[in-house]
Amino acid sequence: MKKLFSIAAAILFASCTSTAQDIKLPAADMNQKSLSMVETLRTRHSVRTYSSRELSLQELSNLCWAACGVSRNNDFRTSPTARNRKEIRLFVFTKKGVYEYLPVENILKEMAKGDQRSLVAGSKEFSQDFVLEAPVSLVMVLDLEKMGGKDERARMMGCVDAGNVSENVNLYCQSVGLCTVPRATMDSKGISALLKLTADQFPVMNNPVGYPKED
């Protein structure tokens, strides 16, 4: 009996520790205050300076949902994708680690520990260090394995869909008082190595996100 108990305890401990660093997000707040769409479009602008203020877990959940979360029926996303392939994977870079946003499960799955935001800032050849001021950076990865094709047309449509996710982020941030800028600069090779991406999975765009820096 003791042996069985020990085995059961070990299995339970292993199952708990294997996902211990994953973050369960609260449900996105559908009643948060925001600007109208017309006002959001009128005032939207890119921002490259950020406050040191961190985003709360609720704010992070709202942000990820706006980017490419589940809109309805567990089958549709807030951002459109070609033939509903859902080929854009969203990765969240923070000071504590790197996570993949899983929309249906509504969790942040830990992919790497520690502050890896310098990879989003750029490479040794060219880097934009203002990215390090933003507490969060969202990286959109195109997964051609989900596209049903890997030709030039599939790549083009995938890049368009990454742009759709980025635009969701741009508009959402403006509407709720956050700030961001859409970027293509980043250390794509470094990010691919960190996330263990295949040759058919590659970073396309990123958005550093934070609060505006106070004057």
Q: Where are the domains of the chain?
A: 22-210
- State yes or no: pLDDT of 194 exceeds 70: yes
Report the mean per-residue pLDDT for the chain. 92
Amino acid symbol at 61:
S
CA 52, distance to chain mean position in Å, is 19
Please, what's the largest Cα pairwise distance for the chain?
Answer: 69
Note the pLDDT tens digit of each residue in 62-77.
999 999 999 998 889 9
91 pLDDT above the threshold of 80: yes
Was domain 22-210 assigned CATH 3.40.50.720? Answer: no
pLDDT band, very low/low/confident/very high, at 12 (cuts 50, 70, 90): very low
Q: What is the pLDDT of residue 74?
A: 85
- Residue 214 confidence class, pLDDT cut points 50, 70, 90: confident
> Alpha-carbon distance 69 to 101, whole Å?
9
Beta-bridge partners for 139: 91, 206
pTM recorded for the entire structure: 0.90
Q: Tell me the mean pLDDT in the region 125-135.
A: 97
